[in-house]
Structure formats: C-alpha cells, structure tokens
C-alpha cells in the first residue's frame, strides 16, 4: 500500500515524496510535506503550492479525498482501494523487487575448531533474517559459509587434541599452554578418534595432520547442527585451503597493477593507497601466503561468479580488516563499493541479573547450544534480532522464560494467539473475512489496520538498511496496539464485528508473516 500510494504521487508530481501519518488521523490516511520542499525553488508560499497539489492529486483514482492544511497535503484512500489492499495482503500478494540483483551473503564463517558460541550466533541470526527478507522481496540471494580450514588454528586443533588424548586416554598429567583449545568437546572428539582409528594414532605427533583433519570435519558438522537448531542454513560452504592454488595467478595480476612490493623478505599490499592505516603482508618471508592472500582470492572469485553485490557479516573485532580487503578489490579492478561489510557487536548474557557462567563443554565461552536449550530457538532468534547489530546486546535469559510482556516474543505471540481465540469464539474462519466490507471504521480500528498494512514498507526498509531489528520493533508496537484495542473494546457481538474481525485478521497475517521471515513460527495457541 505505502509504495503504491507513493508511486502514484511521484508519477503525478514528478517529485520524490515521503509519506507521513497526519498528527490528526481524521485528516486522512497519509500526509506529504512536498509543498515545503518546493517553496524556495518556486518562490511561492507552501500554502499556495499545497492547494495546487490538491488539484493534481485529486485526479488519482485511488484517493477518495485530498485536502490542504497549512501547507500539508492530506490524503484519504478510497474504500475500494483499501479493500483491494487488504484482500491482496490476506492473499499474500506483494510487489516484488524487479531488479533481480544477485547478492552473495557470507556470514558466520567461524573457525572449525570448536562449537559455536553466542558471539557467532548474532551474525548467524542476522544473516539468516536478512536473506529471508531479501528473498521474500524478490532479490536473488545466495548464502555462503567460508571455512577457515588452513593455517595455525587447524594445527593448534590437532595439538590440543593430542594433549587431551594424553590426559583423557593415556592418563598422563598434562599442563595446557594458555593458547590451546579447551573444553569437553575435545574429550568427545578423542573418544571418536579412538573408536574410528584406534588409540595408537593419538600416541604419535606424526599423526597430527590426520587428527586435525578429522577433527576439523567433525567440528564443522557440530557447527552445522548448532546452526540447524536455530534455523540457519547455507547454500554453499567454501573452503579456504584450495583457494591458495590460485595465489600465483592472483599475485601476478596484483603485480601487474602495481599493488605489491617487497620489504624485509616479505611481499606487501599497498593498501594505504586506498585508505588503510598500514600496508599489509600477503606473503611471509618463507613465501607462504597469509590469510589476507586467501581472502583476496576468495573475494575475487565471488565477483567472478557473477554476483552484483557482496555482503559480509563479520564480528566487531574484524573492523580493521575492512579497508585492506576493499583495497585489494580496487587493485584487481573491482568496485569495492559493491562489497558491504556489516559488523556485529558482542553479546553479554545474564542469569537472574548475574553474569552467565561459561560452558565447561566450550572451555572459555558460552555455547549457542546451551542458550537455545534454555530459552528455545524462537526466543533466541527474536532477542538476537532485537537491536542493531553494531550495538552491544545484553539480556537476561530468565526474562525470556517468563510468560508476560517482559518477554518480547511471548508478547507478540500472545497477540496472534488472542486473535485466533477471538475467531474461534466468534465461530468464524479467518479466511471468511475476505468478503467482509469496511463500513464502520472508527479511529482506533483504522490506526490498527494501517499499522498492520505497513509491513511491506518495514520489510523493504529493514532490508535496505540491513537492520532486521526494525521488524522486531514493528511487531512489538503492532502487538501493543492490538492488546490495547482488545482490552478497551468489545469484539465478539460488537455492532462493527465484521470490520474488527477483518482488521485483526490482517494483524494476525502480518505477525505470522513477519515472524516467519525472522525464522520464527507464530503461535496460534498459548
């Protein structure tokens, strides 16, 4: 509805407009301030221009009434148009994006060295929601997980398992170095390795590569299982290690474009040329390519696969990495503005107001699985999408177990459940309201209907800004409007029962669809 009305006005005026809600809803459904924007250029009073706009906009057939008040232009939609919008909404018909932009969305990409912790979870839920909303709006989105299976972290996984085996299987007294991986998951992996290969493989350090490779694959499966538990899935998994086969070719291309130089036996990228604080090493003094070299190859291949836009969701600790990757793209003749980096900030957990205890299974982290087991996947997803990703998130897990308005997902679901209960009490199927007409719409009912019909605009706005938290905020506000109406008004048996039922059917549809796009199933009963 919002975009249909906006498009009609812009076509008639040849000007871009923003639709607003009139301060007094009796003035109309929408208001525009275009007259004020045009006043300086036309050297006319906004009041005069607004009256001229009334003449122009009154010719638009979907408008029932257009009026001007002190320079503001107020618009009332026709009843027939409103009926059509509601019918299309309940039939789940939307105007999809027509650009068919191909987007590659990479997120999570946690090292396959241990189970996912809550820091990884924020990017996981964020990426999942962005892809769901974007696909619904018509964008061609591919999701991808980059497996960091090369380098010191995998070697350290093998060493950590070797030490764990000496203690767990062979009964030796072992002192762990500070930077080694810890946690009960290593004990479980040792048991699996012993069962698969026999315990002798864990006696000799010459088997570390084999141990690490097996463990990496098993940990990756653990990660996939954890992601599945919160409804996160990927189209592609791309491994880092095979990418280095393309390093010599990529290096020659960078050299051709004067992107590299040698210093102290190392090969450096001239990343300061494109705004980086320092130039960066891409080849070590022993001629081994760095992690950055792999990232350069990876991002080059992303564009070679025909994607128009790349979106990466990284942890906040990767902030300094952005400029060097973008610089490498410029040196390769690729447009770095087509790579968008979204940073997700840290998450702090409380339990009854106190810091949540670390997981023994993880060693030094709070596991995703532990929190999901405690509060459920729906609450988990909703709360992780409740704030902008670049702001710190803190919540108390106990509040998400409560069955009251302090639990945001309960509050939203309770609104939907109440609506379904009303239809049951009225003996009416929600589908039956399609044939109802709006005749006796009071101000509160009109406001609730229009808020429920704003979902397409909220979805587009949240996708454009990559901010799904706008949807959670919208749902909480819509639910609050409904709960207030429910408390203050008679519904079943009211003189305008049909109008109320049709309106709250739209509310239910909006809640159900919006939650689905957030990866949550709306509840019909509580």
pLDDT tens per residue across span 433-491: 888 887 767 888 888 999 999 999 999 999 999 999 999 999 999 999 999 999 999 99
Q: What is the pLDDT of residue 440?
A: 62
Q: What is the pLDDT of residue 455?
A: 95
What mean pLDDT do residues 159-167 have?
95
Q: Are 460 and 474 in contact (CB under 8 A)?
A: no
CATH assignment of 408-517, given 1.10.730.10, 3.30.70.3040, 3.40.630.20, 1.10.3330.10? 1.10.730.10
Tokens found for residue 169: 């299987």
What is residue 31's three-state secondary structure?
Answer: strand
Q: With 60 as the cut, is the pLDDT of residue 361 above it?
A: no
d(CA 6, CA 252): 51
| Phi and psi at residue 107, to the nearest 5° | -155, 170
416 class by beta-carbon count within 10 Å (0-12 exposed, 13-18 middle, 19+ buried):
buried
Q: What is the pLDDT of residue 358?
A: 64
Q: With 80 as the cut, is the pLDDT of residue 97 above it?
A: no
Element (H, E) at 384: helix 377-384
Q: Are 482 and 418 in contact (CB under 8 A)?
A: yes
Q: What is the pLDDT of residue 274?
A: 96
3 — pLDDT class (breaks 50, 70, 90): confident
> What's the 3-state SS for 396-416?
ECCHHHCCCCCCHHHHHHHHH
Q: With 60 as the cut, is the pLDDT of residue 311 above it?
A: yes
Q: With 70 as the cut, is the pLDDT of residue 253 above it?
A: yes
Q: What is the pLDDT of residue 176?
A: 79
Q: What is the pLDDT of residue 402?
A: 85
95 — pLDDT class (breaks 50, 70, 90): low
User: H helices of 14-66, where?
Assistant: 34-42, 46-57
Q: Are 305 and 104 in contact (CB under 8 A)?
A: yes
Q: What is the pLDDT of residue 360?
A: 55
Q: What are the residue ranges of CATH 1.10.730.10 in the chain?
A: 408-517
432 — pLDDT class (breaks 50, 70, 90): confident
Tell me the residue length of the chain. Answer: 526
pLDDT more than 90, % of the chain: 78
pLDDT more than 70, % of the chain: 98
Mean pLDDT of the chain, nearest integer? 93
Q: pLDDT tens digit string along 206-220?
A: 999 999 999 999 999
Q: With 90 as the cut, is the pLDDT of residue 174 above it?
A: no
Say what the alpha-carbon torsion angle 305, 135, 228, 196 is, to the nearest 10 degrees. -20
Q: Are 472 and 519 in contact (CB under 8 A)?
A: no
Q: What is the pTM of this model?
A: 0.91
What mean pLDDT do residues 274-283 have?
96
Q: What are the residue ranges of CATH 3.30.1360.70 in the chain?
A: 2-77
Q: With 90 as the cut, is the pLDDT of residue 270 above it?
A: yes
Q: With 90 as the cut, is the pLDDT of residue 25 above it?
A: no
Buried-exposed string 2-15: b where 16+ CB fall within 10 A, e elsewhere: bebbbebbeeebee
Question: Hey, what CATH topology would domain 2-77 get?
Answer: Gyrase A; domain 2 (3.30.1360)
What mean pLDDT do residues 47-55 have?
95
Q: With 70 as the cut, is the pLDDT of residue 416 above it?
A: yes
What mean pLDDT do residues 117-122 have?
92
């Amino acid at each position: 509805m919002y975009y249909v009305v906006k498009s009609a006005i812009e076509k008639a005026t040849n000007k871009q407009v923003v639709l607003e809600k009139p301060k007094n809803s009796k003035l109309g459904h929408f208001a525009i301030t275009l007259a004020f924007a045009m006043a300086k250029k036309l050297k006319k009073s906004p009041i005069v221009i607004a009256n001229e706009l009334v003449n122009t906009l009154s010719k638009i057939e979907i408008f029932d009434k257009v009026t001007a008040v002190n320079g503001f232009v107020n618009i009332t939609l026709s009843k027939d148009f409103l009926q059509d919008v509601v019918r299309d909404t309940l039939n789940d018909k939307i105007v999809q994006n027509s650009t068919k932009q191909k987007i590659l969305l990479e997120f999570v990409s946690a090292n396959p060295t241990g189970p996912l912790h809550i820091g990884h979870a924020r990017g996981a839920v964020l990426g999942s929601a962005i892809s769901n909303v974007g696909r619904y709006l018509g964008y061609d989105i591919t999701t991808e997980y980059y497996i960091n299976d090369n380098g010191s972290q995998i070697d350290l996984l093998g060493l950590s398992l070797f030490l764990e085996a000496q203690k767990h299987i062979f009964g030796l007294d072992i002192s762990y170095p500070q930077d080694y991986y810890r946690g009960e998951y290593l004990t479980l992996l040792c048991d699996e390795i012993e069962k698969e290969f026999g315990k002798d493989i864990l006696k000799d350090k010459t088997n570390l590569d084999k141990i690490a490779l097996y463990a990496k694959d098993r940990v990756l499966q653990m990660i996939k299982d954890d992601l599945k538990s919160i409804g996160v899935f990927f189209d592609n998994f791309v491994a880092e290690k095979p990418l280095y086969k393309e390093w010599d070719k990529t290096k020659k291309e960078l050299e051709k474009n004067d992107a590299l130089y040698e210093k102290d036996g190392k090969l450096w990228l001239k990343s300061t040329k494109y705004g980086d604080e320092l130039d960066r090493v891409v080849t070590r003094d022993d001629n081994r390519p760095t992690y950055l070299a792999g990232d350069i190859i990876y991002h080059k291949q992303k564009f070679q696969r025909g994607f128009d836009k790349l979106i990466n969701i990284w942890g906040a600790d990767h902030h300094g990495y952005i400029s060097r990757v973008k610089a490498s793209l410029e040196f390769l003749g690729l447009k770095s503005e087509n790579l968008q980096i979204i940073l997700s900030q840290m998450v702090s957990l409380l339990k009854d107001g106190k810091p949540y205890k670390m997981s023994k299974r993880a060693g030094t982290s709070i596991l995703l699985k532990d929190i999901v087991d405690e509060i459920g996947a729906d609450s988990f997803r909703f709360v992780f999408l409740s704030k902008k990703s670049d702001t710190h998130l803190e919540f108390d897990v106990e509040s998400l177990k409560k069955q009251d308005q302090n639990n945001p997902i309960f509050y939203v679901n309770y609104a939907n459940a109440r609506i379904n209960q009303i239809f049951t009490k009225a003996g009416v199927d929600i589908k039956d309201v399609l044939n109802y007409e709006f005749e006796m719409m009071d101000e509160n009912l009109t406001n609730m209907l229009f808020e429920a019909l704003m979902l397409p605009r909220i979805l587009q706005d949240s996708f454009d800004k990559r901010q799904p938290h706008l949807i959670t905020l919208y749902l909480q506000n819509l639910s609050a409007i409904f709960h207030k109406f429910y408390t203050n008004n008679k519904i079943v048996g009211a003189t305008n029962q049909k109008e109320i039922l049709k309106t709250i059917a739209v509310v239910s549809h909006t809640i159900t669809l919006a939650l689905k796009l957030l990866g949550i199933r709306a509840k019909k009963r509580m």
